[in-house]
């Protein structure tokens, strides 16, 4: 696989090769994308007809890259008489400065050519080359090339302009230049991506926050956000690096919703640069102790877009919180259901959980009052449409077999839910963690009802229902002969008996009977699930186990952060610490940027975590992982108006100091230190 | 102006207590075009209540589409956000007002309760 370089600003991003070039690709989304549309599919630089080769790349910043290039193959470049610098940034639009440096003693003539093209593919069309239903037309101007795409009222346009004069044709620009001895020549290319509304104006121009920000604005905004986060001081370099990188990536993943006019968090580059219910809820839970101001826009938008009717195409039901919102052509023309799509059985309980957790940290009861009706509707969904079979559990089954999701839990690939022997069960399915979330949501709903909504009768009812659910769940999901909870129930109510990481989420929810917690923790840290880099999604002796299978053997940092939180809740500090240590160690191999997932191979086997082949990076809930792990290690838990600090820093990690943790208490500091004789040997 | 649209607007005040439960308030203007003609509706939304006037006026948000599309929306045959995404209509102003208003749009015709379908398939009593 060609190594790729990406820059991003919210949901506008560019993926190219090591030379900075873009060539049409149908397996991986290379190109310039904004709001799910590819605005550049070709961007190819040649000098006198020759491709260039990168000497070095400076990509320290999420929104800016610089390529230092010379003509020819690597073996020839040492005596290069000419070099080219491509310096580019992204921020609403895309800008590239091209500089040609003549290193020779005489004036030289060059022909610099940039091939340009836009296929206006919807992100969902990338994997399969399709005939576009609309029409693309080029217009050549004095110093610009304009490519327009129209399908009925749908109108997208890319305008590429150059500061230096060149020969412009339908497919690019050629610059015939003369550069003096030791001289240089430069042109600035600007690529504007336009999304037209019905009156011909760019939709983003009418947004309250202003749709475009330049590289300088992004830099300032990211710094401002990072300044507001607590300061970490620690001995462990991996942890410090991962924390810094996470804050940067979370800042970069914020985007402006084109239809909603607020800043939301995109889920992951390149496939998931949009609003996901589950991803944004989990990410919000992870970053709440650090950046609480990012949470309310997410809650407000998910509430505003809450399901209100029955719609089979979108798997929508009243009270349900959305799964995925897209902005592209296939969503608009209903070739895909993402307008929004509601195929997620966990986002509704998670919405209630986040709202409660947010208030516990910030004391912002106003938002809990404002969203009371939506929170009640989400709770109501659990017992009505969520309980498809009327058995007191949350089940899922898509009504859109063509473009809907089969599995509507976080492991949403087609083969993620199986019996131990690998067989796939029928639908509907009730995975275990959904019941845990439902239980937690009821208890948290009860807390909000009692303290903020002034409805003690409703609180009593929710608590009673939660207690009944816990009892029922421990009876129906527990597999006594195996000592763990079933991954799910099949439509007959039988155990789907695979051993999976889902049981870790049960600890987080608190639905596990105390008497069974030890057994669950032992399985999570046992050799079948724990790889040394973290807990595998599926145990390595199960029928469908595959160390590079998306949800059937890989290790997900986000999953591990929730499991660590759960272990801590049940008092397993040492076990939680082992997970923290392993994931933090893994982050070192990715320059602090944890990918979506890595392979489930034993740590001893590879000595480094093998990245899942098409993993998204940066990915919001992976970026959120180091934050939640810090919370777990320092034992940060709001209680009333105070923050409880109860650190248990894993062996070898040394000092961990988090200053200015924001919350209803103002700002407080937390300090932890591992107690072990090995602590003197630093450099973790 | 189609009869379905007139009926839809007439039904709103009675439906508002059940549909508008969140503390959102403001005025939404709905402009519906038929050929050269534009029909203006002003919808004042408040928690639990709606006031509908067939007129033009100051508004916090404006929805513009053909009367044909709006008729499909009020009969469940089209969906609002997809229409915005394909630019068949435009929307400006406070987005949350439109999101609250879309709750009045009905299910697509012939939609069944998913619980009934699931229980039949699993061979369980509805």
B114/A340 CB distance under 8 A? no
SS3 state of residue A414: coil
**Digit-coded pLDDT (tens) for B35-94:** 999 999 999 999 999 999 999 989 999 999 999 999 999 999 999 999 988 989 988 888
B122/A491 CB distance under 8 A? yes
- For residue A680, pLDDT over 80 is answered with no
In this structure, of A100-109, A309-318, A637-646, B89-98, the range with the lowest mean pLDDT score is: B89-98
Q: How many CB atoms lie within 10 A of CB A204?
A: 20
CATH of the domain at A37: 2.70.98.40
Higher pLDDT, A642 or A265: A642
B87/A314 CB distance under 8 A? no
- The answer to whether residue A295 is domain-embedded is yes
B90/A328 CB distance under 8 A? no
Using an 8 Å Cβ cutoff, are A442 and A463 in contact?
A: yes
Confidence of residue A683 (pLDDT cuts 50, 70, 90): very low
B108/A312 CB distance under 8 A? yes
Using an 8 Å Cβ cutoff, are A560 and A535 in contact?
A: yes
Does residue A363 belong to the interface with chain B, where contact is any CB pair within 8 Å?
Answer: no
For chain A, the domain total comes to 2
- For residue A209, pLDDT over 50 is answered with no
Q: Indicate the average pLDDT of chain A.
A: 91
The answer to pTM > 0.90 is: yes
Backbone torsions φ then ψ of A436, nearest 5 degrees: -60, -45
A262 in the same domain as A191: no
DSSP for residue A612: P
In this predicted structure, what is the pLDDT of residue B49?
Answer: 96
- For residue A211, pLDDT over 90 is answered with no
- For residue B112, pLDDT over 80 is answered with yes
Arithmetic mean of pLDDT, A181-204: 82
SS3 state of residue B39: strand
Given the structure tokens 């005489």, which residue do they identify?
A106
Dist CA A267 CA A602 (whole Å): 28
In this predicted structure, what is the pLDDT of residue A35?
Answer: 83
- The answer to whether residue A51 is domain-embedded is yes
A246 in the same domain as A196: no
Dist CA A564 CA A339 (whole Å): 34
B87/A332 CB distance under 8 A? yes
Q: Which residues of A touch B79 (CB under 8 A)?
A: 311, 314, 334, 339
* Angle, vertex CA A457, rays to CA A453 and CA A459, nearest 5: 60
Which run of H or of E encompasses B123?
none
A387/B92 CB distance under 8 A? no
- Residue A331: which of B82, B103, B121 has the nearest Cβ? B82
Query: Which chain A residues in 541-600 lie under 8 Å from chain B, judged by CB atoms?
Result: none
Using an 8 Å Cβ cutoff, are A234 and A633 in contact?
A: no
In this predicted structure, what is the pLDDT of residue A466?
Answer: 98
Q: Which residues of A touch B102 (CB under 8 A)?
A: 308
CATH of the domain at A284: 1.50.10.10
A56, A108, A306, A568, B78 from A43: Cα distances, Å: 19, 25, 40, 50, 38
- The answer to whether residue A219 is domain-embedded is no
- The answer to whether residue A142 is domain-embedded is yes
In this predicted structure, what is the pLDDT of residue A418?
Answer: 98
A259 in the same domain as A195: no
Using an 8 Å Cβ cutoff, are A468 and A476 in contact?
A: no
- The answer to whether residue A216 is domain-embedded is no
CATH topology of domain B3-121: Nonspecific Lipid-transfer Protein; Chain A (3.30.1050)
Domain limits for position A642: 229-680
| Domain stop point among A174, A206, A238 | A206
Arithmetic mean of pLDDT, A507-533: 98
Alpha carbon of residue B115 to chain centroid? 25
In this predicted structure, what is the pLDDT of residue A212?
Answer: 58
Confidence of residue A677 (pLDDT cuts 50, 70, 90): low
B64/A198 CB distance under 8 A? yes
- Residue B22: which of A327, A339, A373 has the nearest Cβ? A373
* Spans of all domains in chain B: 3-121
B87/A198 CB distance under 8 A? yes
Which run of H or of E encompasses B31?
strand B26-34
Query: Which chain A residues in 175-204 lie under 8 Å from chain B, judged by CB atoms?
Result: 196-199
In this predicted structure, what is the pLDDT of residue A77?
Answer: 52
Residue of chain B whose Cα is closest to the Cα of A151: B86
B76/A309 CB distance under 8 A? yes
- Residue B119: which of A154, A197, A390 has the nearest Cβ? A390
Using an 8 Å Cβ cutoff, are A174 and A113 in contact?
A: yes
In this predicted structure, what is the pLDDT of residue A60?
Answer: 73
Does residue A491 belong to the interface with chain B, where contact is any CB pair within 8 Å?
Answer: yes
A206/B92 CB distance under 8 A? yes
Nearest Cα to A380, choosing from A449, A325, A311?
A449
Residue of chain A whose Cα is closest to the Cα of B95: A260
In this structure, of A78-82, A629-633, B14-18, B55-59, the range with the lowest mean pLDDT score is: A78-82
- Residue A154: which of B64, B87, B122 has the nearest Cβ? B87
Alpha carbon of residue A420 to chain centroid? 30
Using an 8 Å Cβ cutoff, are A95 and A189 in contact?
A: yes
In this predicted structure, what is the pLDDT of residue A127?
Answer: 67
Q: Which residues of B touch A427 (CB under 8 A)?
A: 121
Nearest Cα to A118, choosing from A169, A157, A87?
A157
Q: How many CB atoms lie within 10 A of CB A353?
A: 24
Confidence of residue A259 (pLDDT cuts 50, 70, 90): low
For A203-227, the DSSP string reads GGGGSTT-S---HHHHHHHHHHHHH
Q: How many CB atoms lie within 10 A of CB A78?
A: 8
- The answer to whether residue A618 is domain-embedded is yes
- For residue A638, pLDDT over 50 is answered with yes
A283 in the same domain as A155: no
Q: Which residues of A touch B112 (CB under 8 A)?
A: 310
A3, A101, A374 from A181: Cα distances, Å: 35, 9, 69
Given the structure tokens 């208030």, which residue do they identify?
A359
- Residue B81: which of A309, A340, A374 has the nearest Cβ? A340
In this predicted structure, what is the pLDDT of residue A684?
Answer: 42
Q: How far is B2 from chain A (nearest CA, A)?
A: 23
* B61-66 and B26-34 beta bridge pairing: parallel
Best mutation target among A325, A372, A428 (most B Cβ atoms within 10 Å) is A428
Sign of CA dihedral A387, A389, A391, A395: negative
Spell out the residues 6+ positions from residue A245 whose beta carbon is closer than 8 angstroms to its own: A587, A591, A592, A593, A623
| Domain stop point among A147, A174, A206 | A206
Backbone torsions φ then ψ of A324, nearest 5 degrees: -155, 135
A399/B115 CB distance under 8 A? no
Dist CA A5 CA A30 (whole Å): 10
* A636-639 and A495-496 beta bridge pairing: unpaired
Arithmetic mean of pLDDT, A541-554: 94
* Angle, vertex CA A668, rays to CA A666 and CA A671, nearest 5: 170
Question: Buried (b) or exposed (e) across A491-526, using 16+ Cβ within 10 A?
Answer: beeebbbbbbbbbbbbbbbebbeeebbebbbebbbe
A268 in the same domain as A198: no
Q: Which residues of A touch B87 (CB under 8 A)?
A: 152-155, 196-198, 332
- Locate A478 and state its tokens: 């527990």
Burial class of A543 by CB neighbour count within 10 A (0 to 12, 13 to 18, 19+): middle
* A324-325 and A275-276 beta bridge pairing: antiparallel
Q: Partners of A232 in the beta sheet?
A: A658
- The answer to whether residue A72 is domain-embedded is yes
Nearest Cα to A314, choosing from A399, A380, A410, A384?
A399
**pLDDT > 90 in chain A, percent:** 75
Best mutation target among A322, A324, A339, A403 (most B Cβ atoms within 10 Å) is A339
Dist CA A198 CA A107 (whole Å): 52
A192 in the same domain as A235: no
- Locate A387 and state its tokens: 């309980």
Confidence of residue A210 (pLDDT cuts 50, 70, 90): very low
**Digit-coded pLDDT (tens) for A587-602:** 999 999 999 999 999 9
Does residue A389 belong to the interface with chain B, where contact is any CB pair within 8 Å?
Answer: yes
Q: Which residues of A touch B99 (CB under 8 A)?
A: 304-305
Q: Which residues of B touch A331 (CB under 8 A)?
A: 82, 85
Residue of chain B whose Cα is closest to the Cα of A397: B118
- For residue A606, pLDDT over 90 is answered with no
SS3 state of residue A174: strand
A262 in the same domain as A169: no
Arithmetic mean of pLDDT, B12-18: 96
A201 in the same domain as A289: no
- For residue A408, pLDDT over 70 is answered with yes
Residue of chain B whose Cα is closest to the Cα of A257: B95
Does residue A303 belong to the interface with chain B, where contact is any CB pair within 8 Å?
Answer: yes
* Angle, vertex CA A601, rays to CA A596 and CA A606, nearest 5: 105
Higher pLDDT, A163 or A249: A163
A329/B86 CB distance under 8 A? yes
A434 in the same domain as A570: yes
Interface of B with A (CB under 8 A): 19, 21-23, 64, 76, 79, 81-92, 95-96, 99-100, 102-103, 105-108, 111-115, 117-119, 121-122, 124
Arithmetic mean of pLDDT, A543-560: 95
B124/A198 CB distance under 8 A? no
In this predicted structure, what is the pLDDT of residue A253?
Answer: 82
Q: How far is B54 from chain A (nearest CA, A)?
A: 24
Using an 8 Å Cβ cutoff, are A376 and A463 in contact?
A: no
A509 in the same domain as A402: yes
In this structure, of A65-79, A506-520, B80-94, the range with the lowest mean pLDDT score is: A65-79
A389/B118 CB distance under 8 A? yes
Does residue A332 belong to the interface with chain B, where contact is any CB pair within 8 Å?
Answer: yes
């Amino acid at each position: 696989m060609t190594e790729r370089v990406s820059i991003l600003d919210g949901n506008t991003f560019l993926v190219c090769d090591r030379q900075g070039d873009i060539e049409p690709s149908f397996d991986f989304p290379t190109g310039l994308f904004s709001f799910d549309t590819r605005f550049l599919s070709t961007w190819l630089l040649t000098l006198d007809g020759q491709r260039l080769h990168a000497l070095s790349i400076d990509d320290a910043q999420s929104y800016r890259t610089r390529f230092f290039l010379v003509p020819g193959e690597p073996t020839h470049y040492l005596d290069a008489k000419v070099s080219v610098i491509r310096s580019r940034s992204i921020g609403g639009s895309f800008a590239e400065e091209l500089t040609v440096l003549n290193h020779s003693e005489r004036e030289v003539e060059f022909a610099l050519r940039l091939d340009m093209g836009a296929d206006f593919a919807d992100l969902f069309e990338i994997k399969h080359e399709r005939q576009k239903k609309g029409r693309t037309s080029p217009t050549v101007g004095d110093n610009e090339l304009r490519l327009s795409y129209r399908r009925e009222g749908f109108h997208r346009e890319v305008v590429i302009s150059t500061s230096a004069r060149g020969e412009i044709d339908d497919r690019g620009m050629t610059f015939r230049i003369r550069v003096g001895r030791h001289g240089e020549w430069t042109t600035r290319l600007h690529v504007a991506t336009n999304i037209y509304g019905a009156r011909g104006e760019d939709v983003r121009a009418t947004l309250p926050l202003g749709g475009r920000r330049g590289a300088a604005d992004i830099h300032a905004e990211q710094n401002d956000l990072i300044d507001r986060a607590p300061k970490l001081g620690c001995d462990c370099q991996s942890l410090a690096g991962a924390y810094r990188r996470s804050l940067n990536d979370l800042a970069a993943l914020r985007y402006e919703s084109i239809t909603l006019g607020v800043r939301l968090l995109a889920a992951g580059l390149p496939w998931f640069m949009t609003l996901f219910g589950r991803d944004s809820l989990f990410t919000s839970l992870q970053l709440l102790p650090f950046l609480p101001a990012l949470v309310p826009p997410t809650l407000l938008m998910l509430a505003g877009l809450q399901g209100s009717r029955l719609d089979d195409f979108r798997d929508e039901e009243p009270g349900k919180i959305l799964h995925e919102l897209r902005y592209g052509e296939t969503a608009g023309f209903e070739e895909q259901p993402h307008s929004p799509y509601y195929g997620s059985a966990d986002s509704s309980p998670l919405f209630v959980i986040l709202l409660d957790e947010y208030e516990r940290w910030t004391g912002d009861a106003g938002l809990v009052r404002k969203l009371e009706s939506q929170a009640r509707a989400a709770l109501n969904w659990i017992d009505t449409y969520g309980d498809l079979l009327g058995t007191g559990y949350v089940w899922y089954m898509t009504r859109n077999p063509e473009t809907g999701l089969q599995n509507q839990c976080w492991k949403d690939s087609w083969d993620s839910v199986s019996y131990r022997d690998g067989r796939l069960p029928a639908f509907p399915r009730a995975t275990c963690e959904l019941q845990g979330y439902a239980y937690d949501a009821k208890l948290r709903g009860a807390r909000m009802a009692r303290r903020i909504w002034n409805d003690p009768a409703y609180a009593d009812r929710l608590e009673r229902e939660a207690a009944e659910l816990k009892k029922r769940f421990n009876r129906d999901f527990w597999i006594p002969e195996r000592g763990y909870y079933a991954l799910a129930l099949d439509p007959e109510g039988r155990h789907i008996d695979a051993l999976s990481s889902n049981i870790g989420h049960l600890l987080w929810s608190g639905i596990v009977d105390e008497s069974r917690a030890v057994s669950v923790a032992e399985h999570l840290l046992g050799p079948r699930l724990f790889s040394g880099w973290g807990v595998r999604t599926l145990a390595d002796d199960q029928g469908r186990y595959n160390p590079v299978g998306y949800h059937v053997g890989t290790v997900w940092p986000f999953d591990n952060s929730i499991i660590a939180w759960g272990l801590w809740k049940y008092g397993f500090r040492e076990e939680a610490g082992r997970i923290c240590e392993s994931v933090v160690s893994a982050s070192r191999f990715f320059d602090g940027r944890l990918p979506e997932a890595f392979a489930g191979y034993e740590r001893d086997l590879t000595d480094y975590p093998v990245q899942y082949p098409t993993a998204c990076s940066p990915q919001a809930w992976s970026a959120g992982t180091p934050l939640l792990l810090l919370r777990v290690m320092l034992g940060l838990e709001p209680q009333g108006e105070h923050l409880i600090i109860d650190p248990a820093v894993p062996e070898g990690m040394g000092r961990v100091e988090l200053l200015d943790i924001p919350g209803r208490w103002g700002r407080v500091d937390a300090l932890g230190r591992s107690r072990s004789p090995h602590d003197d040997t630093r450099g973790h | 102006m189609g009869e379905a649209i007139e009926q839809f607007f007439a039904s709103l005040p009675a439906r508002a207590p059940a549909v508008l439960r969140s503390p959102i308030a403001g005025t939404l203007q709905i402009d519906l075009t038929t050929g050269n003609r534009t029909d203006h509706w002003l919808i004042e939304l408040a928690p639990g209540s709606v006031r509908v006037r067939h007129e033009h006026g100051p508004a916090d948000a404006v929805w513009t589409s053909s009367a044909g599309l709006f008729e499909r929306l009020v009969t469940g045959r089209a969906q609002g956000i997809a229409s915005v995404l394909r630019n068949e209509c435009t929307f400006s102003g406070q987005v949350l007002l439109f999101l609250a208003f879309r709750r009045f749009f009905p299910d697509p015709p012939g939609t069944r309760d998913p619980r009934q379908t699931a229980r039949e398939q699993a061979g369980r009593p509805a």
